Chain A
Amino acid sequence: MARPLWQSWALSLYDKILQRSLNRRGGSSEANGKPWAEFFIESSIRVLGFSTIGFVLLIFFFLLKEGLPILWEVSPGNLFSTRWYPTFDIFGTLPLILGSAYVTIAAIAIALPLGVTTAIFVREVAPDWTREILKPLIEVLAGIPSVVLGFFGMHVIAPMVRSTLNVPTGLSAFTGAVLLAYMSLPTIISVAEDALDSVPKSYRDAALAMGATSWQTIWRVIVPAARSGIATAVMLGMGRAIGETMAVMMVTGNAGRMPLSLGSLFMPVRTMTATVAAEMGEVANGSVHYHALFGIGIILFILTFIINIAAAGAIFRKRHKGGLR
């Protein structure tokens, strides 16, 4: 009963839009000659386009609204203390921030040499057929769900780390860093590879003509020329690593201790992402703990924002200089 009613209305609306646009086209003034329908489509596209920016802003405002109250609900001394026991109103975020930083930096330390050498191999050394196989394989790496990697890390890597390195437990910052390195590799490899690719052929030709071996060409000419692109790759890899949650939660042990010494690499740590993921489900809406978790969200947002800006800045500078990397 209802459908024919609004269907007929919809049809009449459509008719009228058509009629208007036809009329307009038939009408004389060419200066104002955009048909009505076109205006409609154009403005909806514009609205949709801007909405993406709007959503990001809304998310940020939401984060601020939910997270900022923690600043006056909890004393700064508590907020930057070294223990995180939200159940007992102890909200020291330092171990979490340091934990995230520690794991991320360790992950990049592992991923950088691996990623850059893989990129060099794929781009500069490997024959064409190898490259054709390797490139899609590397992209497949990016598609493995992190929970699968986490499960693998928990059951395979963690016991291996414990028994081979003879540390108290395999659920440690190191295991997390290994997994994160693995996860950020696809990003690092493909961006670094693009950077190497855009080094002008004349550089290679010149180096080889000067009598450099191909190793010398790669190491002394091409890699330095591509360094800002490689830096971008590292930044993007970092952005990927710091925001990763599931795998990290499963393998780092989530102990909220301060990772201050080098030995902490083989001790458990608690990251910001794992904390939010583990505790958000339980927290009462609007409580101090809830605001604290959103406060962590703000810190994470700002950190990833800075990292991404740094990466974008590198790209921008490079474009500015005229396409060289």
Chain B
Amino acid sequence: MAGRRKGTMSTKGEDGPNNLLAARGAQRGLTKGLDRRGFPTFREGAGGARTDLEGRPLSGASRSFSGECGCAGSGRMSMSPGRRYIAAICVVLLFSAGVLTGCSVKKAETEDRLDGHAKTIENKGSDTLVNLALAWAEAYMQAHPVVRISVTGGGSGTGIAAMINGTVAIVNASREMKAEEINAAKANGIGPVEFVVAYDAIAVVVSPSNPVQRLTIQQVSDIYTGAIRNWMEVGGENRPIVMLSRESNSGTYVYFLENVIRMGNSRSKLLFSPDTLLMPSSEGISSEIRQNPNAIGYDGLGYVTADQKVLAVARNQNGPFVVPSAQTVKDGSYPIARPLYMYTAGQPAGQIKNYIDWILDGGQTLVAKLGFVPL
């Protein structure tokens, strides 16, 4: 195919007496490009294109960045004299001008995010923390109109993965980062710094129509492993128990498994019963709890709505049964409570440092309002 075209072209070139030299040159250059499926011509053209670009008001930064972007610029400057490649250069120029512009914009954004004077602070992570983080961001932005903070949820794991990939500045986490996650971040040149920003209690909830008032941690564990299958066994009606849990990417899931189902015993191999319903959101849990008298669920205290019934929980049979509240979490009497974390990508500086400092100080007044427990 390619050979045929080439033959055709050369015949034409000789046949047509009216051919302009320039046109002929351009034609050959392009033919060559097509013959080799474009790439060689492209590269040579790119080398030329870079030379031609020198005079343009593009900054040095964007040009040096072009290599990283995989744009033009193989470093070869073998553009032959004459105008053979003029057409190819045109094409490449059109292409590279667009890409280079894109590169320079990207570079500018990265710079902004990396140094302290960030315009937008990306904050992502735990769904447990997302409401609180939003409230903080709103209050802080009102006081400091220069700063933009964008808050998204998705789960602690999602946020941490995003920080490992370098796309967020602050991660909200409802669990500590695992060693492997910290190593992965360090491998990418990011050293996470931990801050405890509030406390959270996990409330065990049932439908308001369920007469059960209190459970021990042992009973909750037995329910979730499938050892107890009827509400009658824990003092309720003769109904099957439907266990609800968050999905396994939720920090709440891991915390609940380790501290309730396994009761803090690190050698325990207990798991959620396979009958446990994994709900993709807190909303999924609350909507099922609201209308299903068989259901039992757990979620962050901040997410418990008035139409769910919160159970009193005791460490053991004799222990006091405690209903979670700001007071009982703070004084440590409620057994299922945990700290909540923010991780910054590297030692915070500039606006990020100011923001974290504010959270640990002035921002604490908001914590109680959202159902969490201040430091």
A9 adjacent to B90 (CB under 8 Å):
yes
A254 adjacent to B280 (CB under 8 Å):
yes
A154 adjacent to B287 (CB under 8 Å):
yes
A9 adjacent to B89 (CB under 8 Å):
yes
B12 adjacent to A24 (CB under 8 Å):
yes
Residues of B with C-beta under 8 A to A279: 247-249
Residues of A with C-beta under 8 A to B87: 12-13, 16
A171 adjacent to B288 (CB under 8 Å):
yes
Measured between alpha carbons, how far is A256 from B18 in the docked complex, in Å? 77
* Residue of A169, A250, A267, A283 with highest tally of chain B CB at under 10 A: A169
Measured between alpha carbons, how far is A249 from B278 in the docked complex, in Å? 9
Residues of A with C-beta under 8 A to B158: 281-282
In chain B between 172 and 207, which residues have their CB closer than 8 angstroms to a CB of chain A?
A: 180-181, 184
Known: A159-B292, A282-B249. A6 touches B94 (CB 8 A): yes
Known: A16-B87, A281-B155. A169 touches B294 (CB 8 A): yes
B275 adjacent to A23 (CB under 8 Å):
no
Residues of B with C-beta under 8 A to A85: 248, 271-272
**Cβ of A127 < 8 Å from any Cβ of B?**
no
With both beta carbons as reference points, the residue of chain B lying nearest to A246 in the complex is identified as B280
In chain B between 263 and 316, which residues have their CB closer than 8 angstroms to a CB of chain A?
A: 271-272, 274-280, 284, 287-288, 291-292, 294-295
**Cβ of A237 < 8 Å from any Cβ of B?**
no
Residues of B with C-beta under 8 A to A158: 288
Binds A, one of B19-27, B327-335, B341-349, B365-373: B19-27
A20 adjacent to B23 (CB under 8 Å):
yes
B90 adjacent to A12 (CB under 8 Å):
yes
Closest Cβ of chain B to A27, distance in Å, is 6
With both beta carbons as reference points, the residue of chain A lying nearest to B249 in the complex is identified as A282
With both beta carbons as reference points, the residue of chain A lying nearest to B165 in the complex is identified as A285
**Cβ of A131 < 8 Å from any Cβ of B?**
no
Closest Cβ of chain A to B61, distance in Å, is 16
B271 adjacent to A2 (CB under 8 Å):
no
Residues of B with C-beta under 8 A to A249: 280
In chain A between 247 and 295, which residues have their CB closer than 8 angstroms to a CB of chain B?
A: 249-250, 253-258, 267-268, 270, 278-279, 281-285
**Cβ of B15 < 8 Å from any Cβ of A?**
yes
Residues of A with C-beta under 8 A to B81: none
With both beta carbons as reference points, the residue of chain B lying nearest to A31 in the complex is identified as B8
A171 adjacent to B277 (CB under 8 Å):
yes
Contact-size category for B: 35 or more
Closest Cβ of chain A to B105, distance in Å, is 15
In chain A between 72 and 89, which residues have their CB closer than 8 angstroms to a CB of chain B?
A: 82-83, 85-88
**Cβ of A155 < 8 Å from any Cβ of B?**
yes
Residues of A with C-beta under 8 A to B22: 16
**Cβ of B135 < 8 Å from any Cβ of A?**
no
With both beta carbons as reference points, the residue of chain A lying nearest to B180 in the complex is identified as A284
Complex interface bits, A1-37 against B, C-beta within 8 A gives 1, otherwise 0: 1100110011011001001100110011100100010
B274 adjacent to A6 (CB under 8 Å):
no
With both beta carbons as reference points, the residue of chain A lying nearest to B240 in the complex is identified as A168
A10 adjacent to B90 (CB under 8 Å):
yes
B93 adjacent to A32 (CB under 8 Å):
no
Measured between alpha carbons, how far is A31 from B93 in the docked complex, in Å? 35
A12 adjacent to B16 (CB under 8 Å):
no
Closest Cβ of chain A to B159, distance in Å, is 10
B91 adjacent to A13 (CB under 8 Å):
yes
**Cβ of A50 < 8 Å from any Cβ of B?**
no
**Cβ of A204 < 8 Å from any Cβ of B?**
no
**Cβ of A39 < 8 Å from any Cβ of B?**
yes
Closest Cβ of chain A to B375, distance in Å, is 28
Residues of B with C-beta under 8 A to A229: none
**Cβ of B326 < 8 Å from any Cβ of A?**
no
A32 adjacent to B11 (CB under 8 Å):
yes
With both beta carbons as reference points, the residue of chain A lying nearest to B101 in the complex is identified as A2
Known: A27-B16, A32-B8, A95-B274. A13 touches B248 (CB 8 A): no
With both beta carbons as reference points, the residue of chain B lying nearest to A170 in the complex is identified as B292
Measured between alpha carbons, how far is A87 from B248 in the docked complex, in Å? 7
With both beta carbons as reference points, the residue of chain A lying nearest to B254 in the complex is identified as A87
Measured between alpha carbons, how far is A11 from B34 in the docked complex, in Å? 20
Residues of B with C-beta under 8 A to A9: 86, 89-90, 93-94
Residues of A with C-beta under 8 A to B180: 284
Measured between alpha carbons, how far is A249 from B94 in the docked complex, in Å? 46
Q: List 21 A-B contacts (CB under 8 A).
A: A2-B56, A9-B94, A23-B18, A27-B15, A36-B27, A87-B257, A88-B271, A168-B239, A168-B240, A169-B277, A171-B277, A254-B278, A255-B274, A255-B275, A255-B277, A256-B278, A257-B274, A267-B275, A279-B247, A281-B155, A281-B249
Interface contacts beyond A86-B248, A282-B158: sample of 11 additional A-B pairs, CB < 8 Å, sorted by A: A12-B90, A16-B27, A23-B16, A27-B12, A87-B248, A162-B291, A169-B294, A257-B274, A257-B275, A281-B158, A282-B155
The 5 closest A-B pairs by CB, nearest first: A282-B249, A282-B157, A9-B90, A253-B277, A254-B278
